[in-house]
A and B are shown apart, each in its own frame.
Chain A
Amino acid sequence: MGSGPFRNSAHPVIPMDSQTRREAYEQRQRRRSIVIASASTAVVIATIVVLVPRAPRWDRVKKSFFDGDIFTDSFPRLLEAFWLDIKIFAWSVPLIFALSLAIAVSRNTRSPALFPLRAAAVIYTDVFRGIPVILTIFLVGFGVPGLFESRAWSNPLIWGSAALILSYSAYVSEEIRAGIEGVHESQRAAARSLGMSSTQTMASVILPQALRRIVPPMMNSLVSLQKDVALVSLIGPVEILRQAGLDKSKFANFTPYVAAAVIFLMVTIPCTRLADYLLNRERRRTGATTVS
Protein backbone atom coordinates (compact mmCIF):
# COMPACT_ATOMS: atom_id res chain seq x y z
CA MET A 1 0.00 0.00 0.00
CA GLY A 2 2.41 2.69 -1.18
CA SER A 3 1.10 6.22 -1.48
CA GLY A 4 -2.48 6.89 -0.70
CA PRO A 5 -4.08 10.31 -0.99
CA PHE A 6 -3.69 10.76 2.75
CA ARG A 7 -0.06 9.78 2.80
CA ASN A 8 1.17 13.20 3.79
CA SER A 9 -1.83 14.50 5.61
CA ALA A 10 -1.61 15.45 9.24
CA HIS A 11 -3.77 12.55 10.31
CA PRO A 12 -2.08 9.35 11.31
CA VAL A 13 -2.56 6.93 8.46
CA ILE A 14 -3.56 3.38 9.10
CA PRO A 15 -2.05 1.37 6.28
CA MET A 16 -4.42 -0.97 4.46
CA ASP A 17 -2.37 -4.03 5.28
CA SER A 18 -2.25 -3.31 8.97
CA GLN A 19 -3.01 -6.30 11.12
CA THR A 20 -4.82 -6.41 14.37
CA ARG A 21 -2.67 -7.63 17.25
CA ARG A 22 -4.55 -10.88 17.16
CA GLU A 23 -3.94 -11.41 13.46
CA ALA A 24 -0.24 -10.71 13.89
CA TYR A 25 -0.09 -13.15 16.78
CA GLU A 26 -1.93 -15.82 14.81
CA GLN A 27 0.35 -15.35 11.83
CA ARG A 28 3.43 -15.79 14.01
CA GLN A 29 1.87 -18.90 15.50
CA ARG A 30 1.06 -20.29 12.08
CA ARG A 31 4.63 -19.77 10.85
CA ARG A 32 5.98 -21.40 13.97
CA SER A 33 3.65 -24.40 13.53
CA ILE A 34 4.71 -24.84 9.91
CA VAL A 35 8.40 -24.75 10.80
CA ILE A 36 7.98 -27.27 13.60
CA ALA A 37 5.80 -29.58 11.50
CA SER A 38 8.22 -29.52 8.55
CA ALA A 39 11.24 -30.13 10.77
CA SER A 40 9.68 -33.10 12.55
CA THR A 41 8.43 -34.58 9.28
CA ALA A 42 11.92 -34.28 7.79
CA VAL A 43 13.41 -36.06 10.79
CA VAL A 44 10.90 -38.91 10.57
CA ILE A 45 11.39 -39.39 6.83
CA ALA A 46 15.17 -39.24 7.14
CA THR A 47 15.05 -41.86 9.88
CA ILE A 48 12.96 -44.18 7.73
CA VAL A 49 15.10 -43.67 4.64
CA VAL A 50 18.29 -44.23 6.58
CA LEU A 51 17.17 -47.05 8.87
CA VAL A 52 14.89 -49.23 6.74
CA PRO A 53 17.55 -50.07 4.10
CA ARG A 54 19.83 -51.04 6.96
CA ALA A 55 17.44 -53.74 8.09
CA PRO A 56 19.31 -57.04 7.63
CA ARG A 57 17.02 -58.43 4.94
CA TRP A 58 15.91 -55.21 3.27
CA ASP A 59 17.40 -56.25 -0.05
CA ARG A 60 15.22 -59.33 -0.26
CA VAL A 61 12.09 -57.44 0.75
CA LYS A 62 12.87 -54.78 -1.79
CA LYS A 63 13.22 -57.32 -4.53
CA SER A 64 10.03 -59.23 -3.73
CA PHE A 65 7.75 -56.26 -2.90
CA PHE A 66 9.10 -53.26 -4.79
CA ASP A 67 10.24 -54.57 -8.14
CA GLY A 68 9.84 -51.70 -10.59
CA ASP A 69 9.53 -53.81 -13.75
CA ILE A 70 6.91 -56.10 -12.31
CA PHE A 71 5.05 -53.07 -11.01
CA THR A 72 4.81 -51.45 -14.45
CA ASP A 73 3.90 -54.75 -16.06
CA SER A 74 1.17 -55.59 -13.56
CA PHE A 75 -0.29 -52.14 -12.93
CA PRO A 76 -2.41 -51.76 -16.11
CA ARG A 77 -3.85 -55.26 -15.71
CA LEU A 78 -4.75 -54.53 -12.11
CA LEU A 79 -6.29 -51.22 -13.04
CA GLU A 80 -8.47 -53.00 -15.56
CA ALA A 81 -9.49 -55.60 -12.98
CA PHE A 82 -10.25 -52.77 -10.58
CA TRP A 83 -12.95 -51.64 -12.99
CA LEU A 84 -14.99 -54.64 -11.81
CA ASP A 85 -14.61 -53.50 -8.20
CA ILE A 86 -15.89 -50.10 -9.21
CA LYS A 87 -18.88 -51.65 -10.96
CA ILE A 88 -19.78 -53.84 -7.98
CA PHE A 89 -19.46 -50.78 -5.77
CA ALA A 90 -21.54 -48.62 -8.10
CA TRP A 91 -24.53 -50.94 -8.27
CA SER A 92 -24.36 -51.88 -4.61
CA VAL A 93 -24.44 -48.34 -3.21
CA PRO A 94 -27.93 -47.33 -4.40
CA LEU A 95 -29.34 -50.66 -3.29
CA ILE A 96 -27.67 -50.36 0.12
CA PHE A 97 -29.09 -46.89 0.46
CA ALA A 98 -32.62 -47.94 -0.49
CA LEU A 99 -32.58 -51.02 1.74
CA SER A 100 -31.14 -49.21 4.76
CA LEU A 101 -33.58 -46.36 4.39
CA ALA A 102 -36.45 -48.84 4.36
CA ILE A 103 -35.06 -50.62 7.43
CA ALA A 104 -34.41 -47.40 9.35
CA VAL A 105 -37.89 -46.09 8.62
CA SER A 106 -39.47 -49.43 9.57
CA ARG A 107 -37.69 -49.36 12.89
CA ASN A 108 -39.18 -45.93 13.50
CA THR A 109 -42.80 -46.88 12.88
CA ARG A 110 -45.09 -46.95 15.88
CA SER A 111 -48.22 -48.66 14.67
CA PRO A 112 -48.85 -51.99 16.42
CA ALA A 113 -49.88 -53.57 13.10
CA LEU A 114 -46.32 -53.04 11.91
CA PHE A 115 -44.77 -54.89 14.84
CA PRO A 116 -43.60 -57.80 12.62
CA LEU A 117 -41.86 -55.31 10.35
CA ARG A 118 -40.09 -53.66 13.29
CA ALA A 119 -39.09 -57.02 14.71
CA ALA A 120 -37.77 -58.19 11.36
CA ALA A 121 -35.74 -55.00 11.01
CA VAL A 122 -34.20 -55.46 14.46
CA ILE A 123 -33.32 -59.11 13.82
CA TYR A 124 -31.89 -58.23 10.43
CA THR A 125 -29.56 -55.52 11.75
CA ASP A 126 -28.47 -57.64 14.70
CA VAL A 127 -27.72 -60.67 12.55
CA PHE A 128 -25.85 -58.98 9.73
CA ARG A 129 -23.84 -56.69 11.95
CA GLY A 130 -22.87 -59.74 13.96
CA ILE A 131 -21.44 -61.77 11.06
CA PRO A 132 -18.10 -60.89 9.45
CA VAL A 133 -18.63 -59.61 5.90
CA ILE A 134 -16.44 -62.36 4.52
CA LEU A 135 -18.60 -65.05 6.11
CA THR A 136 -21.75 -63.50 4.72
CA ILE A 137 -20.14 -63.55 1.30
CA PHE A 138 -19.28 -67.24 1.63
CA LEU A 139 -22.70 -68.20 2.99
CA VAL A 140 -24.71 -66.23 0.45
CA GLY A 141 -22.31 -66.81 -2.44
CA PHE A 142 -22.10 -70.56 -2.05
CA GLY A 143 -25.43 -71.19 -0.34
CA VAL A 144 -28.06 -69.30 -2.30
CA PRO A 145 -27.14 -70.51 -5.81
CA GLY A 146 -27.68 -74.05 -4.50
CA LEU A 147 -31.36 -73.20 -4.16
CA PHE A 148 -31.80 -72.81 -7.90
CA GLU A 149 -31.80 -75.35 -10.68
CA SER A 150 -30.77 -72.97 -13.39
CA ARG A 151 -27.11 -72.05 -13.91
CA ALA A 152 -28.22 -68.51 -14.65
CA TRP A 153 -28.72 -68.03 -10.92
CA SER A 154 -25.27 -69.10 -9.94
CA ASN A 155 -23.50 -65.91 -10.96
CA PRO A 156 -21.08 -65.16 -8.10
CA LEU A 157 -21.13 -61.47 -8.99
CA ILE A 158 -24.83 -61.26 -8.13
CA TRP A 159 -24.54 -63.17 -4.87
CA GLY A 160 -21.31 -61.52 -3.85
CA SER A 161 -22.92 -58.14 -4.35
CA ALA A 162 -26.04 -59.31 -2.54
CA ALA A 163 -23.93 -60.32 0.44
CA LEU A 164 -22.22 -56.92 0.51
CA ILE A 165 -25.59 -55.20 0.27
CA LEU A 166 -27.02 -57.28 3.11
CA SER A 167 -24.03 -56.65 5.36
CA TYR A 168 -23.64 -52.97 4.67
CA SER A 169 -27.35 -52.16 4.85
CA ALA A 170 -27.30 -53.38 8.42
CA TYR A 171 -24.65 -50.79 9.30
CA VAL A 172 -25.93 -47.95 7.17
CA SER A 173 -29.51 -48.39 8.42
CA GLU A 174 -28.22 -47.87 11.95
CA GLU A 175 -26.51 -44.68 10.82
CA ILE A 176 -29.73 -43.45 9.25
CA ARG A 177 -31.66 -44.39 12.36
CA ALA A 178 -29.24 -42.42 14.52
CA GLY A 179 -29.76 -39.50 12.15
CA ILE A 180 -33.54 -39.78 12.46
CA GLU A 181 -33.33 -39.90 16.23
CA GLY A 182 -30.99 -36.92 16.21
CA VAL A 183 -33.76 -34.69 14.85
CA HIS A 184 -35.33 -33.00 17.83
CA GLU A 185 -38.77 -34.16 18.96
CA SER A 186 -40.04 -30.58 18.70
CA GLN A 187 -39.73 -30.79 14.90
CA ARG A 188 -42.16 -33.68 14.93
CA ALA A 189 -44.52 -31.74 17.21
CA ALA A 190 -44.43 -28.73 14.90
CA ALA A 191 -45.21 -30.84 11.83
CA ARG A 192 -47.96 -32.82 13.54
CA SER A 193 -49.53 -29.63 14.91
CA LEU A 194 -50.05 -28.52 11.30
CA GLY A 195 -52.06 -31.69 10.74
CA MET A 196 -49.35 -33.58 8.85
CA SER A 197 -49.61 -37.35 9.14
CA SER A 198 -46.73 -39.33 10.60
CA THR A 199 -45.70 -40.42 7.10
CA GLN A 200 -45.74 -36.84 5.78
CA THR A 201 -43.81 -35.72 8.84
CA MET A 202 -41.16 -38.38 8.24
CA ALA A 203 -40.86 -37.64 4.53
CA SER A 204 -40.94 -33.83 4.57
CA VAL A 205 -39.53 -32.86 7.93
CA ILE A 206 -37.55 -35.62 9.66
CA LEU A 207 -35.74 -37.45 6.85
CA PRO A 208 -34.39 -34.40 5.02
CA GLN A 209 -32.79 -33.23 8.26
CA ALA A 210 -31.61 -36.71 9.21
CA LEU A 211 -29.99 -37.39 5.84
CA ARG A 212 -27.97 -34.21 6.05
CA ARG A 213 -26.51 -35.39 9.32
CA ILE A 214 -25.65 -38.85 8.15
CA VAL A 215 -23.65 -37.95 5.05
CA PRO A 216 -20.30 -37.97 6.91
CA PRO A 217 -20.71 -41.33 8.70
CA MET A 218 -22.13 -42.82 5.53
CA MET A 219 -19.09 -41.65 3.56
CA ASN A 220 -16.93 -43.60 5.98
CA SER A 221 -19.03 -46.71 5.45
CA LEU A 222 -18.67 -46.28 1.70
CA VAL A 223 -14.88 -46.07 1.94
CA SER A 224 -15.02 -49.27 3.92
CA LEU A 225 -17.29 -50.86 1.33
CA GLN A 226 -14.90 -49.81 -1.43
CA LYS A 227 -12.27 -52.04 0.17
CA ASP A 228 -14.59 -54.90 1.09
CA VAL A 229 -15.66 -55.24 -2.53
CA ALA A 230 -12.37 -57.08 -2.99
CA LEU A 231 -13.67 -59.87 -0.75
CA VAL A 232 -16.11 -60.87 -3.49
CA SER A 233 -13.11 -62.31 -5.33
CA LEU A 234 -13.05 -65.10 -2.76
CA ILE A 235 -16.10 -66.67 -4.38
CA GLY A 236 -14.81 -66.35 -7.93
CA PRO A 237 -14.91 -63.07 -9.85
CA VAL A 238 -11.54 -61.87 -11.09
CA GLU A 239 -11.36 -58.40 -9.69
CA ILE A 240 -8.26 -56.58 -8.55
CA LEU A 241 -7.36 -58.70 -5.52
CA ARG A 242 -7.75 -61.91 -7.50
CA GLN A 243 -5.77 -60.49 -10.42
CA ALA A 244 -3.01 -59.44 -8.05
CA GLY A 245 -2.94 -63.01 -6.73
CA LEU A 246 -2.62 -64.37 -10.28
CA ASP A 247 0.18 -61.94 -11.07
CA LYS A 248 1.91 -62.79 -7.82
CA SER A 249 1.97 -66.44 -8.80
CA LYS A 250 3.09 -65.64 -12.31
CA PHE A 251 6.07 -63.53 -11.21
CA ALA A 252 6.62 -65.34 -7.92
CA ASN A 253 6.80 -61.84 -6.47
CA PHE A 254 4.64 -59.77 -4.13
CA THR A 255 4.94 -56.49 -6.03
CA PRO A 256 1.44 -56.85 -7.62
CA TYR A 257 -0.05 -56.67 -4.12
CA VAL A 258 1.75 -53.41 -3.52
CA ALA A 259 0.46 -52.14 -6.87
CA ALA A 260 -3.08 -53.16 -5.89
CA ALA A 261 -2.70 -51.32 -2.58
CA VAL A 262 -1.60 -48.21 -4.46
CA ILE A 263 -4.70 -48.42 -6.66
CA PHE A 264 -6.97 -48.74 -3.64
CA LEU A 265 -5.33 -45.76 -1.99
CA MET A 266 -5.83 -43.64 -5.09
CA VAL A 267 -9.55 -44.02 -4.53
CA THR A 268 -9.94 -44.33 -0.78
CA ILE A 269 -7.69 -41.47 0.29
CA PRO A 270 -9.63 -38.78 -1.60
CA CYS A 271 -12.87 -40.30 -0.30
CA THR A 272 -11.63 -40.30 3.28
CA ARG A 273 -10.46 -36.70 2.98
CA LEU A 274 -13.86 -35.73 1.57
CA ALA A 275 -15.64 -37.52 4.41
CA ASP A 276 -13.52 -35.68 6.98
CA TYR A 277 -14.14 -32.39 5.26
CA LEU A 278 -17.91 -32.99 5.25
CA LEU A 279 -17.83 -34.05 8.87
CA ASN A 280 -15.98 -30.89 9.90
CA ARG A 281 -18.33 -28.75 7.89
CA GLU A 282 -21.31 -30.40 9.55
CA ARG A 283 -19.73 -29.79 12.98
CA ARG A 284 -19.22 -26.14 12.21
CA ARG A 285 -22.72 -25.83 10.80
CA THR A 286 -24.33 -27.34 13.86
CA GLY A 287 -22.35 -24.95 16.02
CA ALA A 288 -20.14 -27.46 17.79
CA THR A 289 -16.74 -25.88 18.27
CA THR A 290 -13.43 -27.63 18.48
CA VAL A 291 -11.32 -26.80 21.49
CA SER A 292 -7.60 -27.07 21.04
Chain B
Amino acid sequence: MTTPKLSMRGVRKSFGTNTVLDGIDLDVAPGEVITLIGASGSGKSTLLRCCNLLEPIDDGAILLDDDDIAEPGLDADPIRRRIGMVFQSFNLFPHMSVTKNVAIGPRKVLGVDKATANATAIELLARLGLTDRSDAYPDQLSGGQQQRVAIARSLAMGPEVMLLDEITSALDPELVGEVLDVVRGLKTDGMTMLFATHEMAFAREISDRVCFLHKGRILEQGPPDQIFGEPQEPRTREFLQRVIDSGRL
Protein backbone atom coordinates (compact mmCIF):
# COMPACT_ATOMS: atom_id res chain seq x y z
CA MET B 1 0.00 0.00 0.00
CA THR B 2 1.26 3.49 -0.85
CA THR B 3 1.84 5.90 2.01
CA PRO B 4 -1.22 8.03 2.62
CA LYS B 5 -1.06 11.66 1.54
CA LEU B 6 -2.70 12.77 4.75
CA SER B 7 -3.19 10.72 7.84
CA MET B 8 -4.75 11.34 11.23
CA ARG B 9 -3.72 9.11 14.12
CA GLY B 10 -5.69 9.22 17.33
CA VAL B 11 -6.45 12.92 16.97
CA ARG B 12 -8.13 14.49 19.98
CA LYS B 13 -9.38 18.01 20.37
CA SER B 14 -11.50 19.65 23.04
CA PHE B 15 -12.78 23.16 23.51
CA GLY B 16 -12.81 23.47 27.28
CA THR B 17 -14.75 20.48 28.53
CA ASN B 18 -16.40 19.91 25.15
CA THR B 19 -14.60 17.01 23.45
CA VAL B 20 -15.02 17.69 19.76
CA LEU B 21 -12.64 15.13 18.21
CA ASP B 22 -12.43 11.96 20.24
CA GLY B 23 -9.69 9.84 18.66
CA ILE B 24 -9.87 10.25 14.90
CA ASP B 25 -7.95 7.76 12.73
CA LEU B 26 -8.15 8.43 9.05
CA ASP B 27 -5.86 7.80 6.06
CA VAL B 28 -6.35 9.70 2.84
CA ALA B 29 -4.52 8.06 -0.07
CA PRO B 30 -3.06 10.22 -2.86
CA GLY B 31 -5.86 11.15 -5.25
CA GLU B 32 -8.52 9.84 -2.92
CA VAL B 33 -11.75 11.77 -2.31
CA ILE B 34 -13.20 11.28 1.14
CA THR B 35 -16.42 12.89 2.25
CA LEU B 36 -17.25 13.57 5.85
CA ILE B 37 -20.92 13.41 6.69
CA GLY B 38 -22.62 13.79 10.04
CA ALA B 39 -24.99 15.98 11.97
CA SER B 40 -24.10 19.60 12.54
CA GLY B 41 -21.82 19.82 15.57
CA SER B 42 -20.36 16.36 14.99
CA GLY B 43 -16.90 17.85 14.47
CA LYS B 44 -16.48 17.98 10.66
CA SER B 45 -15.27 21.58 10.52
CA THR B 46 -12.99 21.11 13.49
CA LEU B 47 -11.43 18.05 11.88
CA LEU B 48 -10.67 20.02 8.72
CA ARG B 49 -9.39 23.05 10.63
CA CYS B 50 -7.06 20.78 12.60
CA CYS B 51 -5.68 19.29 9.39
CA ASN B 52 -4.88 22.80 8.21
CA LEU B 53 -3.34 23.65 11.59
CA LEU B 54 -5.86 26.42 12.13
CA GLU B 55 -6.65 24.69 15.43
CA PRO B 56 -3.97 23.01 17.52
CA ILE B 57 -4.80 19.41 18.42
CA ASP B 58 -4.58 18.15 21.99
CA ASP B 59 -3.25 14.69 21.27
CA GLY B 60 -2.42 12.32 18.43
CA ALA B 61 -0.62 13.04 15.17
CA ILE B 62 -1.40 14.37 11.72
CA LEU B 63 0.92 13.18 8.97
CA LEU B 64 1.43 14.82 5.62
CA ASP B 65 3.52 12.51 3.44
CA ASP B 66 4.57 10.72 6.63
CA ASP B 67 5.81 13.90 8.34
CA ASP B 68 4.09 14.82 11.58
CA ILE B 69 2.74 18.31 10.95
CA ALA B 70 0.94 18.59 14.27
CA GLU B 71 4.19 18.57 16.21
CA PRO B 72 3.78 21.40 18.71
CA GLY B 73 6.11 24.29 17.94
CA LEU B 74 6.47 23.50 14.25
CA ASP B 75 6.26 26.50 11.91
CA ALA B 76 2.80 26.06 10.42
CA ASP B 77 3.13 28.47 7.48
CA PRO B 78 5.18 26.26 5.11
CA ILE B 79 2.78 23.39 5.80
CA ARG B 80 -0.42 25.35 5.31
CA ARG B 81 0.66 26.46 1.86
CA ARG B 82 0.69 22.78 0.81
CA ILE B 83 -2.87 22.27 2.02
CA GLY B 84 -5.72 24.20 0.44
CA MET B 85 -8.85 25.05 2.34
CA VAL B 86 -12.21 26.33 1.15
CA PHE B 87 -14.72 27.64 3.67
CA GLN B 88 -18.49 27.56 3.90
CA SER B 89 -18.65 31.37 3.94
CA PHE B 90 -16.15 31.89 1.07
CA ASN B 91 -14.04 34.33 3.13
CA LEU B 92 -12.81 36.16 0.06
CA PHE B 93 -10.83 39.33 0.74
CA PRO B 94 -13.44 42.04 0.12
CA HIS B 95 -10.92 44.81 -0.59
CA MET B 96 -9.21 42.97 -3.43
CA SER B 97 -10.37 42.30 -6.97
CA VAL B 98 -11.07 38.72 -7.98
CA THR B 99 -7.70 38.46 -9.73
CA LYS B 100 -5.87 39.85 -6.74
CA ASN B 101 -7.67 37.46 -4.39
CA VAL B 102 -6.29 34.60 -6.44
CA ALA B 103 -2.83 36.09 -7.00
CA ILE B 104 -2.16 37.27 -3.46
CA GLY B 105 -1.14 33.87 -2.06
CA PRO B 106 1.54 33.13 -4.66
CA ARG B 107 2.76 36.73 -4.51
CA LYS B 108 3.11 37.01 -0.75
CA VAL B 109 3.90 33.44 0.18
CA LEU B 110 5.78 32.03 -2.80
CA GLY B 111 7.37 35.31 -3.87
CA VAL B 112 6.02 35.06 -7.41
CA ASP B 113 6.21 38.40 -9.22
CA LYS B 114 2.98 40.29 -9.79
CA ALA B 115 2.72 39.82 -13.55
CA THR B 116 3.29 36.07 -13.38
CA ALA B 117 0.92 35.65 -10.44
CA ASN B 118 -1.80 37.62 -12.23
CA ALA B 119 -1.35 35.62 -15.42
CA THR B 120 -1.64 32.37 -13.49
CA ALA B 121 -4.67 33.70 -11.65
CA ILE B 122 -6.42 34.66 -14.88
CA GLU B 123 -5.68 31.24 -16.34
CA LEU B 124 -7.14 29.56 -13.26
CA LEU B 125 -10.19 31.80 -13.32
CA ALA B 126 -10.74 30.92 -16.96
CA ARG B 127 -10.68 27.25 -16.09
CA LEU B 128 -13.39 27.88 -13.50
CA GLY B 129 -15.50 29.90 -15.96
CA LEU B 130 -14.82 33.26 -14.35
CA THR B 131 -12.93 35.07 -17.08
CA ASP B 132 -15.38 37.95 -17.32
CA ARG B 133 -15.38 38.51 -13.56
CA SER B 134 -11.65 38.87 -13.03
CA ASP B 135 -11.80 42.64 -12.39
CA ALA B 136 -14.91 42.50 -10.20
CA TYR B 137 -14.88 42.72 -6.43
CA PRO B 138 -16.26 39.91 -4.29
CA ASP B 139 -19.44 41.79 -3.30
CA GLN B 140 -20.34 42.10 -6.98
CA LEU B 141 -20.43 38.33 -7.44
CA SER B 142 -23.10 35.72 -6.83
CA GLY B 143 -22.44 33.22 -4.05
CA GLY B 144 -21.59 30.53 -6.57
CA GLN B 145 -19.07 32.78 -8.28
CA GLN B 146 -17.56 33.80 -4.97
CA GLN B 147 -17.08 30.21 -3.96
CA ARG B 148 -15.45 29.38 -7.28
CA VAL B 149 -13.05 32.30 -6.76
CA ALA B 150 -12.29 30.95 -3.30
CA ILE B 151 -11.46 27.58 -4.83
CA ALA B 152 -9.26 29.28 -7.43
CA ARG B 153 -7.50 31.23 -4.66
CA SER B 154 -6.72 27.98 -2.93
CA LEU B 155 -5.64 26.18 -6.11
CA ALA B 156 -3.28 29.02 -7.00
CA MET B 157 -0.97 27.81 -4.24
CA GLY B 158 -0.70 24.42 -5.95
CA PRO B 159 -1.94 22.50 -2.91
CA GLU B 160 -1.32 18.78 -2.51
CA VAL B 161 -4.55 18.27 -0.58
CA MET B 162 -7.79 20.22 -0.58
CA LEU B 163 -9.99 20.54 2.48
CA LEU B 164 -13.52 21.58 1.59
CA ASP B 165 -15.80 22.60 4.44
CA GLU B 166 -19.47 22.55 3.41
CA ILE B 167 -18.61 24.72 0.47
CA THR B 168 -22.16 24.71 -0.90
CA SER B 169 -24.08 25.20 2.34
CA ALA B 170 -24.27 28.97 2.05
CA LEU B 171 -25.47 28.87 -1.56
CA ASP B 172 -28.92 29.19 -3.09
CA PRO B 173 -29.93 25.78 -4.45
CA GLU B 174 -29.62 26.84 -8.09
CA LEU B 175 -25.98 27.87 -7.54
CA VAL B 176 -24.84 24.63 -5.90
CA GLY B 177 -24.33 22.86 -9.23
CA GLU B 178 -21.68 25.21 -10.62
CA VAL B 179 -19.53 24.75 -7.51
CA LEU B 180 -19.92 20.98 -7.45
CA ASP B 181 -18.88 20.89 -11.12
CA VAL B 182 -15.58 22.43 -10.05
CA VAL B 183 -15.13 19.69 -7.46
CA ARG B 184 -15.83 17.06 -10.14
CA GLY B 185 -13.11 18.67 -12.25
CA LEU B 186 -10.67 18.54 -9.35
CA LYS B 187 -11.35 14.85 -8.90
CA THR B 188 -10.71 14.25 -12.60
CA ASP B 189 -7.38 16.04 -12.17
CA GLY B 190 -6.51 13.61 -9.40
CA MET B 191 -6.69 16.03 -6.47
CA THR B 192 -6.67 14.53 -2.99
CA MET B 193 -9.71 15.87 -1.16
CA LEU B 194 -11.31 15.78 2.23
CA PHE B 195 -14.80 17.13 1.83
CA ALA B 196 -17.35 17.84 4.58
CA THR B 197 -20.79 18.10 3.03
CA HIS B 198 -24.54 17.85 3.42
CA GLU B 199 -25.01 17.15 -0.29
CA MET B 200 -25.62 13.43 0.05
CA ALA B 201 -26.32 12.74 -3.62
CA PHE B 202 -23.07 14.39 -4.56
CA ALA B 203 -21.16 12.62 -1.79
CA ARG B 204 -22.45 9.34 -3.18
CA GLU B 205 -21.36 10.28 -6.69
CA ILE B 206 -17.91 11.65 -6.02
CA SER B 207 -16.51 9.85 -2.99
CA ASP B 208 -14.09 7.02 -2.95
CA ARG B 209 -14.94 6.66 0.69
CA VAL B 210 -17.53 8.16 3.02
CA CYS B 211 -16.95 8.70 6.74
CA PHE B 212 -19.84 9.19 9.10
CA LEU B 213 -18.88 11.37 12.04
CA HIS B 214 -20.76 11.20 15.29
CA LYS B 215 -19.76 13.07 18.43
CA GLY B 216 -16.16 13.41 17.35
CA ARG B 217 -15.66 9.81 16.24
CA ILE B 218 -15.72 8.16 12.84
CA LEU B 219 -18.55 5.79 13.58
CA GLU B 220 -18.65 4.13 10.21
CA GLN B 221 -16.77 4.39 6.95
CA GLY B 222 -16.76 2.67 3.62
CA PRO B 223 -17.49 3.02 -0.09
CA PRO B 224 -20.47 5.28 -0.79
CA ASP B 225 -22.73 2.48 -1.96
CA GLN B 226 -22.23 0.71 1.31
CA ILE B 227 -22.73 3.74 3.56
CA PHE B 228 -25.75 5.02 1.68
CA GLY B 229 -27.07 1.61 0.58
CA GLU B 230 -26.63 -0.61 3.58
CA PRO B 231 -25.34 1.35 6.57
CA GLN B 232 -24.34 -0.94 9.42
CA GLU B 233 -24.58 1.43 12.37
CA PRO B 234 -28.02 2.34 13.68
CA ARG B 235 -26.85 5.94 14.12
CA THR B 236 -25.78 6.17 10.50
CA ARG B 237 -29.17 4.87 9.45
CA GLU B 238 -30.89 7.32 11.73
CA PHE B 239 -28.86 10.23 10.32
CA LEU B 240 -29.50 9.22 6.72
CA GLN B 241 -33.18 8.77 7.46
CA ARG B 242 -33.33 12.32 8.81
CA VAL B 243 -31.61 13.57 5.69
CA ILE B 244 -34.07 11.68 3.48
CA ASP B 245 -36.99 13.05 5.49
CA SER B 246 -35.74 16.57 4.98
CA GLY B 247 -35.63 15.87 1.23
CA ARG B 248 -31.92 16.11 0.70
CA LEU B 249 -31.21 12.66 -0.72
Contact = CB atoms under 8 A, between A and B. Distances in A.
Interface in A151-196: 186-187, 189-196
A195 B105 contact: yes
Q: How large is the interface on B (under 10, 10 to 19, 20 to 34, 35 or more residues)?
A: 20 to 34
B54 A189 contact: yes
A194 B105 contact: yes
Contacts of B77: 192, 195-197
Interface in B42-85: 49, 52, 54, 76-85
Given A189-B87, A209-B95, A196 B54 contact: no
Interface string B184-219: 000000000000000000000000000000000000
A195 B95 contact: no
Q: How large is the interface on A (under 10, 10 to 19, 20 to 34, 35 or more residues)?
A: 10 to 19
Interface stretch (A71-79, A200-208, A215-223): A200-208
Interface string B152-181: 011001000000000000000000000000
Contact of B80 (A186, A193, A205, A212): A193
Given A189-B54, A200-B109, A194 B91 contact: no
A194 B93 contact: no
Report whether over half of chain A's contact residues are helix, strand or loop; otherwise say mixed. helix
A194 B104 contact: yes
Contacts of A200: 108-109
Nearest to B86: A193
Interface in B114-144: none
Contacts of B94: 209
Given A195-B77, A195-B78, A189 B157 contact: no
A122 to B, nearest CB: 26
A209 B138 CA distance: 14
Contacts of A193: 52, 54, 80, 83-85, 154
Given A200-B108, A200-B109, A195 B81 contact: yes
A197 B76 CA distance: 9
Contacts of A195: 77-82, 105, 109, 157
Interface string B95-112: 100000000110011000
Contact of A194 (B49, B81, B89, B95): B81
26 contacts: A186-B89, A186-B91, A187-B91, A189-B54, A190-B87, A190-B93, A190-B150, A192-B77, A193-B52, A193-B80, A193-B84, A194-B81, A194-B104, A194-B105, A194-B108, A194-B153, A195-B82, A195-B105, A196-B105, A196-B108, A196-B109, A197-B77, A204-B108, A205-B93, A209-B94, A212-B95
Interface of A: 186-187, 189-197, 200, 204-205, 208-209, 212
Interface of B: 49, 52, 54, 76-85, 87, 89, 91-95, 104-105, 108-109, 150, 153-154, 157
| Top-6 shortest CB links A-B | A195-B81, A190-B91, A194-B105, A193-B85, A195-B109, A195-B80
